[in-house]
């Protein structure tokens, strides 16, 4: 008797997992996106920051231009500078508000970078700076969107200096919460040796705190 058999499973029965596995080759993520997503998820910063950046890369952000394209907003103009459509590139990089914040944080780029798409620009930004600054970059992106929403929805207009101070303080707080890296204990057994005749030997412990430049014994 003839019957329907699903080739994706040994049992012949269809499952969502087998269907997903068959579709994976045709839905593979481009190399640039895969490397960029991997870099973002490996950054040591709060999950909410990484998720927000990931949403912006997937164009899941309710910018004015995106809402206008979906026929939700009547005007695509940036609510901060009122000069250009509020695309991802504009709100996070090209807007005068974002540009001043990046400069205050010590980030600059040549004019040729302004022609890059948001994904290309963020990839360039991460590659051009050491990994120790990647957390600061993502937090800056998160803060730019946070400040934009505070102004648009609550009427709070924070100054550039206030925003930059907030970002630096937030980065210090995140860094202080990261687990400390301790070197593994030495396998060498240290034994006490008696001093030479006529020599007095005194043993004591000492400690030094780098963050405070303070030592005691």
List of E strands, 61-112: none
- For residue 130, pLDDT beyond 60: yes
Q: Read off the pLDDT of residues 12-41 as tens digits, 9 standing for 90 and up.
A: 888 888 777 777 655 555 556 788 888 899
Q: Answer for the pair 92, 118: CB distance below 8 angstroms, yes or no.
A: yes
Q: Read off the pLDDT of residues 152-167 as tens digits, 9 standing for 90 and up.
A: 889 888 888 999 999 9
C-alpha to C-alpha distance for 91 and 65, rounded to whole angstroms: 10
Over residues 60-69, the mean pLDDT reads: 90
Contacts of 171 (CB under 8 A, 6+ apart): 135, 136, 139
- For residue 133, pLDDT beyond 90: yes
pLDDT interval class at 121 (50, 70, 90): very high
Number of residues assigned to the chain = 217
């Amino acid at each position: 008797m003839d019957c329907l058999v699903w080739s994706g499973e040994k049992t012949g029965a269809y499952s969502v997992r087998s269907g997903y596995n068959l579709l994976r080759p045709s839905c593979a993520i481009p190399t640039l996106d895969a490397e960029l997503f991997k870099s973002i998820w490996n950054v040591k910063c709060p999950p909410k920051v990484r998720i927000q950046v990931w949403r912006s890369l997937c164009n899941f952000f309710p910018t004015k231009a995106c809402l206008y394209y979906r026929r939700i907003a009547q005007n695509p103009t940036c609510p901060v500078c009122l000069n250009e459509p509020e695309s991802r590139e504009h709100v996070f990089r090209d807007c005068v508000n974002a540009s001043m914040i990046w400069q205050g944080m010590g980030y600059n780029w040549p004019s040729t970078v302004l022609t890059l798409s948001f994904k290309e620009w963020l990839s360039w930004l991460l590659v051009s700076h050491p990994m120790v600054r990647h957390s600061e970059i993502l937090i800056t992106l998160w803060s730019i969107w946070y400040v934009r929403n505070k102004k648009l929805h609550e009427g709070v207009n924070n100054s550039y200096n206030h925003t930059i101070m907030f970002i630096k303080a937030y980065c210090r707080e995140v860094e202080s919460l990261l687990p400390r890296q301790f070197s593994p204990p030495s396998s060498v057994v240290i034994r006490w040796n008696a001093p030479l005749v006529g020599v007095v030997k005194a043993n004591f412990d000492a400690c030094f705190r780098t963050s405070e430049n303070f030592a005691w014994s």
